[in-house]
Amino acid sequence: MSDLIRIVDLEVHTHIGVPDEERARLQRLLISLDLTVDCIAKAAITDDVTKTVNYYDVAQQVKDLAAQKSRRLLETFAEELATDLLASYPIKSLTLEIKKFILSDTKYVSVKIDRPK
């Protein structure tokens, strides 16, 4: 049995973009995560956050990774995030989407990946 913890549109700011001038300024990204975890019943019954994946800690880790360095591609950042989160938490799999607001004639562009543990 597995359950899902979802973080939707976490706002982070990072230096990202192919051209140097784009990477020179902070850009706003929205990141959504679907974290598949073992059954959350034990955490629910005991009301103990240590028996589940603490979504606050996950969000902070995402923000910290975003701030660590500049990147050219959303794909690079997505892979780094997935690798880091899967190594740090008892997550069975994850889906993540990163939205970027760079093209003036679109609502956003995004990269979405699914990764098993």
Tell me the pLDDT tens digit for each residue of 14-25: 999 999 999 999
DSSP, collapsed to helix, strand or coil, labels residue 116 as strand
Dump pLDDT digits (tens) for 98-107: 999 999 999 9
**CATH 3.40.50.300 given to domain 2-116:** no
Domain boundaries, the chain: 2-116
Dist. CA 19–CA 71, nearest whole Å: 10
Q: Does position 66 have pLDDT exceeding 90, yes or no?
A: yes
Report the relative pairing of strands 2-14 and 27-38 from DSSP bridges: antiparallel
Q: Indicate if the pLDDT at residue 91 is higher than 80.
A: yes
3-state DSSP assignment of residue 52:
coil
